[in-house]
Amino acid sequence: MLKVNDLKVNYGGIEAVKGISFEVPEKSIVTLIGANGAGKSTTLRSIVSLVKPSNGKIEFLGEDITGRDTNDIVAKGITLVPEGRKIFPDLTVLENLKIGAYMRKDNLTEDLNWVYDLFPRLKERHWQAGGTLSGGEQQMLAVARALMSRPKLIMMDEPSLGLAPLIVQGIFEIIKEINKQGVTILLIEQNANMALRTADIGYVMETGNITLTGSGKELLVNEQVRAAYLGK
Amino acid sequence: MDFISKNLPYLLAGISVGGQYALIAIGYTMVYGILRLINFAHGDIFTVAALVLVYSSTIMPLYLSIPLTLVATVVLGLVVERVAYKPLRNAPRMSVMISAIGVSYLLQNLALYITGGLAQTYPAIPIISNTIKIGPATTKIVTVVTPVLTIVLVFALMQLINHTKIGMAMRSVANDFETSRLMGIKVDNIISMTFVIGSFLAAVGSLLYFTNYASVVPTSGAMPGLKAFVAAVFGGIGSIPGAVIGAFIIGICENIIKGLGWTTFSDAFTFALLIVILIVKPTGLFGEKATDKV
Ligand SMILES: Nc1ncnc2c1ncn2[C@@H]1O[C@H](COP(=O)(O)OP(=O)(O)OP(=O)(O)O)[C@@H](O)[C@H]1O
Ligand SMILES: [Mg+2]
C-alpha cells in the first residue's frame, strides 16, 4: 500500500533520515521503533509532505506522492495523528471531529457515531473546548479526528506518550479494532513492547537508518531489540 | 432637555465614527488572530479605498464606482498578502512586521504621487449624504446607517466564523498551521480569506467615513486607521467582539470630549487610553492570554 524507497530528509544540512526503505502492506499494522531522535517523526512528516524529502520516492497505492501538497495526500487517504496530539484547543470536541472530515462533503452522522462508539468519552464531552480535555482524552480525540477523514492509512506518532498504563492498553485495543475494520496502520512507539506485540511487521530505526526488520514476534525475541528497547 | 439637545449630536457622531473604526479594526484583529502580524498597511488600504472612489467616480456613475471600490480594495489586500507576507511565512515575525511597514509607506507614497498631495473632492454618495433631523439634532443619514450596518456586518461575520465550515477552518488555522494542513485545509487560502474580509470591511468603512468629509488627502486615512488599531488593541487584539466594542468606546468618548469643548484633546485621549491599557491590562478587554504561538 505504502512504499518508501531510499528516503532522505535534511534539516539545514543535518541529515535526520539517511536513505530508508520500507513497506506497509494493505490492512497490516506496521510499527517503527527507535530511540529519541532516530528520525521516526521526520519519516512520518515527510510522508504527508510537512517536510520535503531531499531524496527518495514515496508511493501510495501505486502512485508517486513524493512532495505533493499535504491536502492532496490527505485526500488520497493518508492521515497522521501527530506527535503531541495537536488537537485544536479553541475548537469544541465536536468541531475537532468535524474539522478532521474537512476534505469530505458527504454526511458525517455515521462517522460521528462510529468514533463515538470507539470513544464514548468524547460523546459525553462533545461541547467542551478541546484544550480543556485531559491528556488521555486529547489523545482519543486526536485519533478520532484522524478517523473522521475515513483514511485508508492512519499513521500515529507515539499515541501512548504520557498516558497511564490502563489508557495505553485502551489505545492499543482501539488500534487493533480500527485495523480489524480495514484501516491500515503505521505506528511509531516508544513503548516497543506493546507496539511489537500488536504489529505484524516492525522496523527498528537508529540515527536515520533502518537497522532491523522482522515480524513483530521476531523482533520481540531478537537479542539486540531486547537489549536496546525492551530493557532486558 | 437643553443638555440632551446640546450633547445628542456628539453622541450620535460618536456612535457613528465608532462603527467606522470598528469596520477598520476588524481587519487588524483578524489578521493578527491568524498570522500574529500587525498589518501596518491596513490603514493605508483604507485610504486607498477612498482614492479609488474619488478617481473612479469621475469616469463612471457611483452605482459602478462603489462596487469597483469594494472589489479593488479586496484585490489590493490580497495582493499585499501574496507579495509582502506570504513569501515570509517561515521567516521570523519581525521580518514580516518590517515588510508590513514597508508596504504601508509604499501605499502612502503612491497615494501622494497619484494625488500630487492635493485634496481630492470626495463624491457625495446619494441617500447617505442627505441630512435628517433626529430630535433636536440635524445630521447626515450616514450617521444612522453606520452603526446599523456595522452591527449587521459584524453579526454576519460572527455567524461565518462560528457556524460555517470555512469559519471553523479559520479558527483552526489561527490555532495551528501545520495541524490544519494535516486536516487537508489549504492554509494559504484561509489566510487570503481573512485579508479579503478585512479589506472589504475597511472599504465599507471608508465609504461611510469619508461621506462626512468633503475631500481626501493622502494622509486622511492615517488617523482613523491608527485609532482603529488602538481600538483593536484596547479590545484585545485577536478578538473581533473586542475590536468592535473598543472602537465604539473610542468613537463615543472622543466625541463626548469634543462636546465638552476639549476638541484639542480628543485625539490625545485615544492614545492616552492606549498607554493606560498597555500598562494596566496588556491583553486588552477581551484578549487571550499572551501565549506565544508555537
Ligand atoms: N524542525 C527541525 N529542525 C532541525 N532539526 C530537526 C527538526 N525536527 C527534527 N530535527 C532533528 O532531526 C532528528 C530526528 O528527529 P525526529 O523528531 O524525527 O526524531 P524521533 O525519532 O521522532 O524522536 P522522538 O522519539 O524523540 O520523537 C533529531 O536529531 C532532531 O533534532
Ligand atoms: Mg518523534
What separation in Å is there between the alpha carbon of B180 and the centre of ligand 1? 21
Residue B294: pLDDT band with limits 50, 70, 90: very low
Here the ipTM equals 0.92
Q: How far is B139 from chain A (nearest CA, A)?
A: 43
Q: How far is B170 from chain A (nearest CA, A)?
A: 11
How far is the first Cα of chain B from the last one, in angstroms, to the nearest whole number?
57
List of long-range contacts for A100-105, beta carbons under 8 Å, 24+ apart: A100/A144, A100/A145, A100/A146, A100/A147, A100/A148, A100/A149, A100/B183, A101/A148, A101/A149, A101/A150, A102/A149, A102/B165, A102/B169, A102/B183, A102/B184, A102/B185, A103/A71, A103/A74, A103/A75, A103/A149, A103/B183, A103/B184, A104/A149, A104/A150
N residues, chain A: 232
Residue B148: pLDDT band with limits 50, 70, 90: very high
Residue range A61-98, pLDDT digits in tens: 999 999 999 999 999 999 999 999 999 999 999 999 99
Partner-chain residue, chosen from A75, A82, A91, that has the shortest CB–CB distance to B182: A82
Q: CA–CA separation, A207 vs A188, rounded Å?
A: 15
Domain residue ranges of chain B, discontinuous segments joined by +: 2-280
Query: What is the arithmetic mean of pLDDT over B280-287?
Result: 86
Give me the phi and psi of B216, to 5 degrees please.
-125, 135
Give the count of Cβ contacts less than 8 A between chain A and B: 59
Q: Is the pLDDT of residue B290 over 60?
A: no
Supply A91's cell numbers: 475548537
Partner A, chain B 214-243, Cβ-Cβ below 8 Å: none
Residue A163: pLDDT band with limits 50, 70, 90: confident
What separation in Å is there between the alpha carbon of A40 and the centre of ligand 2? 6
- Partners of B172 on chain A (C-beta within 8 Å) are 88, 91, 99
Other C-beta atoms closer than 10 Å to the C-beta of B173 total: 26
Domains and CATH numbers, chain A: 2-77+152-229 (3.40.50.300), 89-150 (no CATH)
B168 vs A: CB within 8 A = yes
Residue range A31-45, pLDDT digits in tens: 999 989 999 999 999
Q: CA–CA separation, A228 vs A222, rounded Å?
A: 10
B181 vs A: CB within 8 A = yes
A108 vs B: CB within 8 A = no
Q: Is the pLDDT of residue B279 over 60?
A: yes
- Partners of A69 on chain B (C-beta within 8 Å) are 186
Specify the pLDDT at position A91: 95
Residue B292: pLDDT band with limits 50, 70, 90: very low
Specify the pLDDT at position B130: 85
Q: Is the dihedral of CA A112, A118, A122, A124 positive or negative?
A: positive
Residue B114: pLDDT band with limits 50, 70, 90: very high
B169 vs A: CB within 8 A = yes
Q: Is the pLDDT of residue B72 over 60?
A: yes
Query: What is the arithmetic mean of pLDDT over B198-220?
Result: 94
CATH number of B2-280: 1.10.3470
Whole-prediction pTM value? 0.91
